[in-house]
């Protein structure tokens, strides 16, 4: 039995992909999306802030806002960005933005980084981490990009695309597949184990 299946986790996320992945893994989760203004307030990456610090900060803001709204127990928040040439690619704002991202990724490797924020509210213990994966996007024909944009699958996804999307020629080169979806299961399991060793939670 995994740490996540033994413990009840408040998942501070509105992402159906994270929710489905957590439940498919057998985790005992209660989904509590953070307030929208918390995510909007964290937008923007100051000069000098690394991408690793950026994604952790975004996750932290989500988690802290969820706790501030009354969530208790073990609270988990994540945020995911894609990166190419040192530029972070968040969620596409519209169809044209998604096209720009797809054309940028076409035929090239890129990174996907997920910041993880984990808190046990009764003790105030907080753990943070970053997980990254390397992907390769095979060359995309203009007709495929048009079809993909018409499908709407790009909506709400970092980099304007999703690893498991239909027909998308996206290949995992290194790292965790679950991280690409936005919930690095293995890393979070290790963090939950570390959290339990610091503050035993019982059965």
Q: Are 55 and 79 in contact (CB under 8 A)?
A: yes
At which residue do the structure tokens 């995992």 appear?
Answer: 172
Q: Are 131 and 114 in contact (CB under 8 A)?
A: yes
Active site residue 79: yes
Q: Of 113, 102, 108, which Cα lies nearest the Cα of 167? A: 102
> 28 is written with which tokens?
């005992």
Please state, in angstroms and rounded to a whole number, the distance separating the CA atoms of residues 86 and 93.
Answer: 20
Of 20, 37, 53, 79, the catalytic one is 79
At which residue do the structure tokens 């806002």 appear?
Answer: 65
Q: Is 85 left (phi over 0), alpha (psi -120 to 50) or beta?
A: left
> 154 is written with which tokens?
């790009």
For the chain, list the strands marked E by DSSP: 8-11, 28-31, 74-84, 87-89, 108-120, 125-137, 170-174
Catalytic residues: 79
């Amino acid at each position: 039995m995994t740490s996540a299946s033994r413990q009840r986790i408040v998942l501070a996320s509105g992402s159906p992909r994270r929710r489905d992945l957590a439940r498919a893994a057998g985790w005992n989760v209660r989904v509590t999306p953070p307030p929208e203004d918390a995510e909007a307030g964290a937008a923007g990456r100051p000069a000098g802030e690394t991408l690793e610090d950026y994604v952790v900060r975004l996750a932290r803001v989500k988690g802290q806002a969820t706790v501030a709204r009354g969530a208790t127990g073990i609270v988990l928040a994540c945020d995911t960005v894609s990166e190419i040439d040192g530029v972070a690619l968040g969620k596409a704002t519209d169809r044209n933005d998604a096209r720009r991202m797809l054309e940028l990724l076409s035929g090239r490797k890129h990174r996907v980084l997920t910041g993880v924020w984990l808190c046990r509210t009764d003790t105030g213990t907080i753990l943070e981490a970053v997980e990254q994966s390397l992907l390769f996007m095979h060359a995309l024909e203009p007709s495929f990009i048009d079809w993909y944009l018409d499908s709407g699958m790009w909506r709400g996804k970092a980099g304007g695309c999703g690893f498991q999307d239909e027909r998308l020629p996206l290949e995992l080169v290194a790292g965790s597949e679950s991280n690409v979806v936005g919930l690095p299961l293995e890393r979070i399991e290790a963090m939950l184990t570390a959290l339990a060793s610091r503050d035993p939670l019982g059965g």
